[in-house]
Amino acid sequence: MACELKEKERVGIINPIFTCQPAGAQYASIGIKDCLGIVHGGQGCVMFVRLLFAQHFKENFDIASSSLHEDAAVFGAVHRVEEAVDVVLMRYPHVKVIPIITTCSTEVIGDDVDGVVRKLNQGLLKEKYANREVHLISIHTPSFKGSQVTGYDVALEAFVQTLAKKDQPNGKVNLITGWVNPGDVTALKHLLAEMKVEATVLFEIESFDSPIMPDSDKSAVSHGSTTVEELIGTANALGTIALNKYEGGKAAQYLANEFDIPTIIGPTPIGIRNTDTFLQNLKKMTGKPIPESLVRERGIAIDALTDLVHMFFADKRVAIYGHPDLVIGLAEFCLDLEMKPVLLLLGDDNVTYHDDPRIKAFQEKVDFDMQIICNSDLWELEDRIKNQGLELDLILGHSKGRFISIDNNIPMVRVGFPTYDRAGLYRHPVVGYAGAIWLAEEMANTLFIDMEYKKNKEWILNVW
Ligand code: SF4
């Protein structure tokens, strides 16, 4: 009985769990108000990523491309960045922040994006846009290493490196949410409000769930709402809490090193235990007490879970794939619910997973066979089910793996990014006490439907 952490043993990828680094940088960019990213590469590097965002959120997002063609591979294409910046500034008079996001092709060509940013700052911006506030930020996201997760992490670091400036203390907490859904942001803001903690929620995407209003002028365009001023002010915060180690940890560490800001990285507040720790961390950082209202919410969540844990969840075997912080947080929650997360798939080649204290805790504590596969693809799951006799009661993961669930008659809860084959999942939190209730009840209801469908002990529901 052991928890084994290992690399996928095959070369190549069959059905990837993630897409590439520029996608993460694009997700970070659309979290900033008055920001429009230019992806320096072929159009497909934007087209497919925008499609994923649109599928997941059922909303539209503007992202630009420098749109390379064959000649760029031979002669380079920094001139296309110069033209693209000019076009974006002319077409979008409100834009203040333009990240230039590199791709595999432009990193291989060796286009000097940092140099072109310096040139534009000295030339075009001074000459043609002298009276306009514009911040150009180069973000290096070659797709031949990392994944959309590292791309998001690298982008956040680049934004704070470029924009954060030391000034007077602002008494706020920097809250770096990581790659979450609007429902998660709503749940986190609720916890902050109950604690009476003033926070800068960074790369704030609650408004990705945008309304259609009777007056069309008031209909919100889906876009993030973290302002340039808030990013500048991150250097003056009381402290930083980054909820996800791999999605914002670098930016939090930069602020700690550069501006001596107290910093706490993790845990992802999935489940009761991790939400408790998050609130304790807020209390430690701000001196604000945890109010009775949150103790009551916690109690309601524990009551909801108690109804389900032993009777329905105990010993259920679960496979989980997706973003590493989400997968680890879900596995911790499953363990607390007496489930057995027997297989975790982490879809990139991050070598630091071996040092993650949460993974070390799994290795020390689990009393069943559990595998954690790094650099994994979805074939690692499919092959184990079809050819190696892996028995599962439940799969947790995003929509890209749904055919494994369908083909093998294993119930599945959609969670993570992207989830486009179920309605409105972006609206439901997985974090906080509200997230614990939603996740547990979603898992239970999925198992109940499966029991009925397979006529397996569905009579239990008569007496529950
Ligand atoms: S792999 Fe390269 S070409 Fe393909 S989307 Fe990613 S950055 Fe663009």
Residue 450 in domain: yes
Residues 139 and 184 in one domain: no
Beta strand 340-346 with 317-322 is parallel
Same domain for 326 and 455? yes
Residue 118 has pLDDT above 80, yes or no: yes
pLDDT, residue 269, reads 97
With H, G, I as helix, E, B as strand and everything else as coil, classify residue 356: coil
- Is 274 contained in some domain? yes
Structural domain span for residue 278: 173-290
Nearest residue (by CA) to ligand 1, atom 2, is: 104
Judge if 83 and 144 occupy the same domain: yes
Check which CATH number belongs to the domain holding 261 and give it.
3.40.50.1980
Q: Say yes or no: 219 and 338 in one domain.
A: no
- Distance from the CA of 223 to the center of ligand 1, in angstroms? 24
Ligand 1 contact, 233 CB (< 6 A): no
pLDDT tens figures, 216-233: 766 667 789 999 999 999
Confidence label for 214 from pLDDT (cuts 50, 70 and 90): confident
3-state SS, residue 460:
helix
Residue 371: strand pairing partners: 4, 343
Same domain, 427 and 361: yes
Q: Are residues 55 and 116 in the same domain?
A: yes
Q: Is any ligand 1 atom within 6 A of the Cβ of residue 148?
A: no
Sorting pLDDT into bands at 50, 70 and 90, what band is 394?
Answer: very high
For residue 357, pLDDT over 80 is answered with: yes
Helix (H) or strand (E) holding 199: strand 199-202
Pocket test for ligand 1, best of 104, 108, 139, 141 (most atoms within 8 A of CB): 104
Tell me which residue of 86, 131, 81, 123 sits closest to 102, measured CA to CA. Answer: 81
Amino acid (one-letter) located at 23: A
**Do 317 and 281 share a structural domain?**
no
- Which burial class, exposed, middle or buried, applies to 256 when counting CB atoms under 10 A from its CB (0-12, 13-18, 19+)? middle
Number of compact structural domains in the chain: 3
- Which of these three, 254, 273, 290, is where a domain ends? 290
Residues 284, 306 within the same domain: no
Same domain, 315 and 458: yes
pLDDT higher than 90, residue 210: no
The strand order across the sheet containing 64-65 reads 64-65, 38-40, 97-102, 135-139
- The stretch 54-82 carries a mean pLDDT of 92
Shared domain check, 317 and 421: yes
Q: From the CB of 68, is ligand 1 less than 6 Å away?
A: no
Q: In whole angstroms, how far apart are CA 456 and each of 327, 448, 460? A: 28, 9, 9
Q: End of a domain among 290, 309, 344? A: 290
Looking at the structure, tell me whether residues 286 and 324 fall in a common domain. Answer: no
Max distance between CA atoms of the chain, in angstroms, equals: 76
pLDDT score for 457: 86
Q: Flag whether 162 is in a domain.
A: no
Q: Which atom of ligand 1 has the smallest separation from the CA of 22? A: 7
Give the pLDDT of residue 178.
98
**Is residue 166 in a domain?**
no
What is the average per-residue pLDDT within 340-354? 93
Asked, for residue 159, whether it belongs to a domain, the answer is no
45 lines ligand 1 (CB under 6 A): yes
| Ligand 1 atom nearest 49 alpha carbon | 5
Q: Is residue 47 part of a domain?
A: yes
- Quick one: 384 and 439 in the same domain? yes
pLDDT of res. 120 = 97
